[in-house]
Amino acid sequence: MLKPAWYLVSGDFLAEPFLTADHPKAHQLATAYASAVVLLSDEGLFDREHTELAVRLGLLSATRLLDTATNGIGISDKDELARVVNGMALLHAYLAQTLQRFADLARIAAAAGTSPAGFTREVADALTSAGDGGEFVAGDLKRAYLALVSPAE
């Protein structure tokens, strides 16, 4: 769960419907999404393989978003762009806070001198910096989202 932060957009993004019944692959997309939810929910296993799966699905998703932006397809109006930007703001918020939590773990392990994973102060500092930078990315995405959903002046 995300900690409250200045860069968060309000609303429950994942609770909002994203499929229309008339989409030709609605069933396939709904099934794929449901499978991912089951595998990656906080009630599932927390092990190396599930963590690796989450990273790989995240990378596949990022590749898809880049292809969408590169080809200018899949986003046909301001509302669709707002929804994608909102989701990306949330994604960056999660990534920023995840990096900050990894930094905390590294810092604790380095201070205790009990780090079998090789966490050092240098690693902790780099992760902290990356997490802080992620907050600014999420904040800029929030600003873009709010501009998209604000009434035109």
Q: pLDDT by residue (tens digit) across 60-78?
A: 999 999 998 888 877 888 9
Regarding whether 101 and 54 lie in a shared domain, the answer is no
Regarding whether 43 and 26 lie in a shared domain, the answer is yes
Among 8, 3, 2, 4, which Cα is nearest to 137's? 8
Q: Please give the model's pTM, rounded to 2 decimal places.
A: 0.86
Number of domains in the chain: 2
Regarding whether 149 and 97 lie in a shared domain, the answer is yes
The three-state (H, E, C) secondary structure of 72-135, written as one string: CCCCCCHHHHHHHHHHHHHHHHHHHHHHHHHHHHHHHHHHHCCCCCCCCHHHHHHHHHHHHHHH
Regarding whether 96 and 130 lie in a shared domain, the answer is yes
- Three-state DSSP at 139 gives helix
**Is 4 part of a structural domain of the chain?**
no
CB-CB contact of 21 with 15 (8 Å): no
Could you give the CA distance from residue 26 to residue 99 in angstroms, rounded to a whole number?
34
List the domain range (segments joined by +) for residue 67.
20-74
The pLDDT of residue 140: 97
Q: What is the pLDDT of residues 4-46, one digit of tens each?
A: 999 998 878 888 888 888 888 888 988 998 898 888 888 777 8
